[in-house]
């Protein structure tokens, strides 16, 4: 069982319009709703590739009830979300059919009380003994301490559970210092963390700051991994256009599944990049086109070398 943590869950709403124009009214050609937030997206992809997943975090209000109702229909995903008094946020993605681009609007999320945060920490501690890996994903809702992920990393490490961190800003900075097994920033987040715009240098610096391994998303240029076992870069066989929302979450799912299956790093990266690329072509976050994924899996180029023993 893999555990994903989404402290700021969401109901992801996607609108498709023929062409998005400022200062204009639009007719929406299609609307979809899905449980969202980074960890829930990761969980859906993990379940789709055959892993059992438990999801936890916060949920509340009418929007939270919709999220939980829809989660109950996802095979392989167990709901361990913790209730709060506030309402779960919504995120709005507007897909422009003319350009293929997506515009994203994200609400901040409910304010979490100290009692609700304490209740979550209790649930989290109870779940850890039964899981093989945990992913801590996304933004923090108002009221949650900025060092929350650092504390959750230390709790997982004390339980002997490997942990992947996927967040940004000060929560990432503090989380890295708690020595997670893997961090997965994008290029911008890595530069903000380390001050370096050169990905290899930035990843090496993130390791010096505490991360055991660093996997950086480089957009269309693929993935970079700097680990104790070696350094590798994975590049896609072709560039694709579509909805990039959730592509990083699919990469996390690939990395976590590879970790749970004890795959070598090059195989983890190939899976992560194939899933990420296949998700760009899917209409909503947390999904991927299986035929594209299977075709890409053999076409991803992974270069680099293992460290000397």
Which residue in 12, 11, 76 sits closest to 45, CA to CA?
A: 76
Whether the Cβ atoms of residue 88 and residue 60 lie closer than 8 Å to each other: yes
| Dihedral (CA of 113, 115, 116, 120) sign | positive
Task: State the pairing for strand pair 89-96/10-17.
Answer: parallel
**249 catalytically annotated:** yes
Kindly list the strands in the beta sheet with 89-96, ordered across the sheet, starting from the edge strand earlier in the chain. 30-36, 10-17, 89-96, 102-106
Which entry of 79, 249, 267, 298 is annotated as an active-site residue?
249
Structure token digits, residue 84 = 């709060």
Task: State the pairing for strand pair 182-183/163-166.
Answer: parallel
* SS3 (DSSP) at 51: coil
* Residues 28, 74: Cα–Cα separation, whole Å: 26
Structure token digits, residue 260 = 């749970």
Active site residue ranges = 249
């Amino acid at each position: 069982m893999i555990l994903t943590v989404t402290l700021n869950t969401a109901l992801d709403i996607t609108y498709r319009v023929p062409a998005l124009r400022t200062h204009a009214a639009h007719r929406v050609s299609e609307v979809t709703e899905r449980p969202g937030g980074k960890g829930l997206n990761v969980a859906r992809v993990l379940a789709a590739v055959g892993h059992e997943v438990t999801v936890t975090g916060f949920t509340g209000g009418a929007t939270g009830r919709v999220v939980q109702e829809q989660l109950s229909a996802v095979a392989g995903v167990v709901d361990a979300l913790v209730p709060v008094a506030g309402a779960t946020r919504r995120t709005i993605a507007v897909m422009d059919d003319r350009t293929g681009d997506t515009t994203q609007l994200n609400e901040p999320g409910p304010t979490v009380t100290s009692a609700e945060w304490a209740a979550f920490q209790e649930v989290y501690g109870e779940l850890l003994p039964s899981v093989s890996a945990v992913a801590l994903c996304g933004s923090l809702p108002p009221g949650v301490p900025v060092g929350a992920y650092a504390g959750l990393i230390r709790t997982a490490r004390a339980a002997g559970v490997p942990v992947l961190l996927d967040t940004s800003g000060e929560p990432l900075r503090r989380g890295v210092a708690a020595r997670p097994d893997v961090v997965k920033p994008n290029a911008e987040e890595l530069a903000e963390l380390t001050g370096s715009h050169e990905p290899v240098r930035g990843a090496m610096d993130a390791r010096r700051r505490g991360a055991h391994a660093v996997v950086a998303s480089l957009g269309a240029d693929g993935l970079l991994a700097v680990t104790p076992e070696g350094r590798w870069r994975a590049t896609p066989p072709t560039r694709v256009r579509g909805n990039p929302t959730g592509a990083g979450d699919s990469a996390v799912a690939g990395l976590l599944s590879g970790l749970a299956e004890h795959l070598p790093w090059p195989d983890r990266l190939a899976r992560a990049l194939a899933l990420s690329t296949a998700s760009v072509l899917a209409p909503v976050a947390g999904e991927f086109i299986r035929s594209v994924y299977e075709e890409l899996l053999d076409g991803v180029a992974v270069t680099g070398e293992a460290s000397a023993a």
